[in-house]
Amino acid sequence: MKLWNIIWIGVVLVCGVGCSDFLDVQPKDKQSEEQLFSTRGGFYTAVNGIYNKVASTALYGKNLSYELVDVISKRYAPLQSNTYLTALSTFDYTEASVQTGLSNTWTEAYNTILNCNVVLDNLEKSDGVLLPAEYRMLKGEMLALRAFLHFDMLRLFGPVYKLHPEMESIPYNESSRVSALPLLTADSVLHEKILRDLDEAERMLVDSDPVIEGGRMASQEGDEDVYLRYRQLRMNYYAVLALKARVYLYAGEEAKALAVARELLTDSKVDEYFPAVDPNKLLANQDNPDRVFSTEVLAGIYVKDRADIHTTYFSSEQAGTNYLHPRKNYVNANLFAEETQDYRFQSCWRTASNENEGGYDFIKYEEIAKPTQAGETEYFYAVFMSLIRLSEVYYIAAECEPVLADKYEWLNKMRERRGLSALTVVSDEDFMKRLRMEYLREFMGEGQIFFMYKRLYAHLLSDENGNDANAYEAREERYVLPLPSGEIANR
């Protein structure tokens, strides 16, 4: 089963010839595991298949981005006629379709982890197949991706770490064999497994990742060897550092999170390779604006049919019963209150054509026109979604600074990148309120908002609630999703 999943993942095209070549490296027939990993191309075929699974609808192509986790953080007011979305928005995790959705996410995550382990096993047997730097790069990527997936299963299904780090949480799979694994405590998953894998991934990538010298694309457009290109579509070195900062913050280790965040934010190469979105190309460009702010994304996924997300879920004219939209007046009066000059408001929201005054459509993933005379890099962002943003690193640094003025300084750096004026230093309470609002604006449609609330074990305030304008107190039964029944039955 594990090999079937590696080989028969369809890795699709569109994003220019170079990107198409890069993503469409796949075998034409079934092969044995030994045959697949006997060549350099076979390794990249397997790895491409794994990244394509990461972009599946059960994972970051839907459930862990704009739909399931965003709905349970009350970003939208689903139509009552949609039982599944309504159940999610009311924290009804016992509803049958919700249980199916959660089970699909769990299964796909652990299946993808299993495939990472298959590649890792074969890397250790690949003597002479790969160059030493390629071996280190692929090993670093697979270790980082394994940690990344486990971490999100922990954040979704594990206990509220702030309250119960000692509680049982999830299994951590380091084997390429299918077997039942014990539930580990949340603390041991974080410190003994995830951070261990990330430390090793960092060591592997620091002297092998093309992103360090070549940036996001990592090679010139005319290069014949496409294997090492598009580092934004990989768990690259900079993404691994950002993920470490995310994990340290979740674990409450603010000093370590701050150290890693500072390392990234003071690196001149990071500033060069991942520049702030250009407002001239964003706001003055009506045909193909980069609404995902792709230049600032440290790692993301390729989604060929990304435009379908908008028509299926966010278009007031086309989405039907799937239509996801915040409650009336929330976007302009609460989310961007008195700051509608924010680039995120200007580029990602539009008054709904068939709504009464005060209704907005979320248009981050709306289809954009393909440039008539442009290279693939200019169209790349049309099929791109974020997993890890540089903005999150700014927010981590801001939250972890011990001095209040320094917290505001980091926050203001991001506000400047979004066309906003600097905030004056007021209080810790004001800072956290402002920081939370930044998360709500920045990560809409990307899944990080629920994890922010759970990490803080925060009450959902009425002016932060895009669903029904009520306040909801923090409760463990709202923030801890139930393990799939099949997982429980196997114990």
pLDDT band (50, 70, 90) for residue 377: low
Confidence at 375, pLDDT banded by 50, 70, 90 = low
Residue 412 in any domain: the answer is no
Cα angle value 381/369/55 (rounded, 5°) = 35
Q: What is the pLDDT of residues 378-421, one digit of tens each?
A: 678 999 999 999 999 999 999 999 999 999 999 999 999 999 99
pLDDT of residue 12: 29
Q: In CATH, what number is assigned to the domain containing residue 263?
A: 1.25.40.390
Specify if 296 maps to a domain. no
User: Structural domain tally of the chain?
Assistant: 1
Residue 414 inside a domain? The answer is: no
DSSP string for residues in 5-51: HHHT------S-HHHHHHHT---SS---HHHHTTSHHHHHHHHHHHH
Q: According to the model, what pLDDT value does residue 487 have?
A: 74
Decide if 6 is inside a domain: yes
- pLDDT tens across 43-59, in order? 999 999 999 999 999 99
Within-domain flag for 104: yes
Q: Which residues of 159-190 are buried (b: 16+ CB within 10 A; e: fewer)?
A: bbbbebbeebbbbbbeebeeeeeebbbbeebb
pLDDT at 3 over 50: no
To 10 degrees, the CA torsion angle through 68, 72, 74, 77?
60
Structural domain of residue 68, as residue ranges? 2-270+447-489
Segment 312-364, tens digit of pLDDT: 999 999 999 999 999 999 999 999 999 999 999 999 999 998 766 669 999 99
Which phi and psi (to 5°) does residue 248 adopt?
-60, -40
pLDDT band at residue 245, thresholds of 50, 70 and 90? very high
Domain membership flag for residue 277:
no
Whether 161 is in a domain gets the answer: yes
297-302/384-389 β-pairing: antiparallel
With a cut of 60, say whether residue 374 has pLDDT above it. no
Token duo for residue 118? 């298959």
Residue 426 located in a structural domain: no
147 three-class SS:
helix
Amino acid 371: pLDDT? 65
